[in-house]
Amino acid sequence: MPVTVSVPTLRRYGKPLVFVALLLPALWLAYNWWLAFQYQPNALGFNPQEASNRFTGDWTLRMLLITLAITPLSKLLKSPKPILFRRMIGLYAFFYGCLHIISYVWLDKYFAWGELWADILKRIYITVGMTAFLLLIPLAVTSTKGWVRRLKAKRWQKLHKLVYATGVLAIFHFVMMRKGFQLEPLIYGAILAGLFAARLPAAIKRRRRQAAA
C-alpha cells in the first residue's frame, strides 16, 4: 500500500492535525476539572481524583503504545512517512505521564509529600510506575535534533530502546494496580506483546547480520 500523501503536506497539515487530535483528551480533562471547581455538573463522576488518575494513566499508556506502533506501521506501509510523527507522539506519552503525576500528586494526594514518598518506596506498583516514568525523562530530553546530532544516531537509538522497558513496566504497573484478575490490563499487555513481536523479524535479521560481520 503506497502512501500517496507527500512529505511536505504531512509536515504542513498532518502534523498540526495530529498534534491537536492527541491534545483533545487533555483538553477534555482540563475542561471537566474546570467545571468541577465551579461546582458544575461534569463528566468526572463521583470520585474525580480517581477518574483523572485513571484517565491520565490510560492515555500515557496509549500514547506509549502508539509510539511503539509507528515503526511496525511504516514497515507495513513500506514507507518511512509515519516516522515523521514518532517524536511528537513519544513526547505526548511524556506529557500525559506528567499529567498523570500531577493528577496524583496534586489533585489526589494534595502534596502530602511524606505520604507520597512512602508510596513510592513502599507500594511496588507506584515504584514500578515511577521507574517507568523516570526512564522516559532522558528520552524526552534527548528528543531534539541537537541531541540526536550530539549523541550520533547509533547511541541515540540505543538510548531510546529504553522505551521498551517503559512499556513493559507500564503494563506491570497497570496489572498490579487493578484489584483481582482483570481483563483490561491484559488487553493492553497483549497489544504491547504484539508490537514487540512485530519487531522480532527485523531484530533477528540485524543480529544475524552482526554475527556474520
CA separation for the pair 1, 111 (Å, rounded): 51
Give the number of other Cβ atoms within 10 Å of residue 147's Cβ: 13
31 lies in the binding site for another protein (CB under 8 A):
no
Selected from 20, 27, 77, 124, the binder of another protein by CB under 8 A is 124
* Amino acid identity, position 153: A
113 lies in the binding site for another protein (CB under 8 A):
no
- Using CA atoms, how far residue 183 sits from 70, 113, 165, in Å, is 25, 33, 22
**Contact region for another protein (CB under 8 A) — 79-87, 116-124, 136-144, 154-162?**
116-124
Where do runs of H (alpha helix) occur along 123-212?
124-141, 145-160, 162-177, 183-212
Selected from 115, 150, 152, 157, the binder of another protein by CB under 8 A is 115
Closest to another protein by CB, 21 or 46: 46
Task: Report the interface residues with ligand HEM, using CB under 6 A.
Answer: 50, 53-54, 57-58, 60-61, 64, 97, 100-101, 104, 126, 129-130, 132-133, 136, 166, 170, 173-174, 177
**Contact region for another protein (CB under 8 A) — 31-39, 63-71, 93-101, 158-166?**
31-39
Closest to ligand HEM by CB, 10 or 163: 163
Contacts by residues 187-192 (CB-CB < 8 Å, ≥ 24 positions apart): 188/61, 188/65, 191/65, 192/65, 192/68, 192/167, 192/168
Cell numbers given for 12? 504542513
43 lies in the binding site for another protein (CB under 8 A):
yes
CB under 5 to 8 A by kind: which of another protein, ligand HEM, none does 132 bind? Answer: ligand HEM
Nearest to 103 by CA among 178, 172, 179, 30: 30
Least distance (Å) between residue 202 CB and ligand HEM? 25
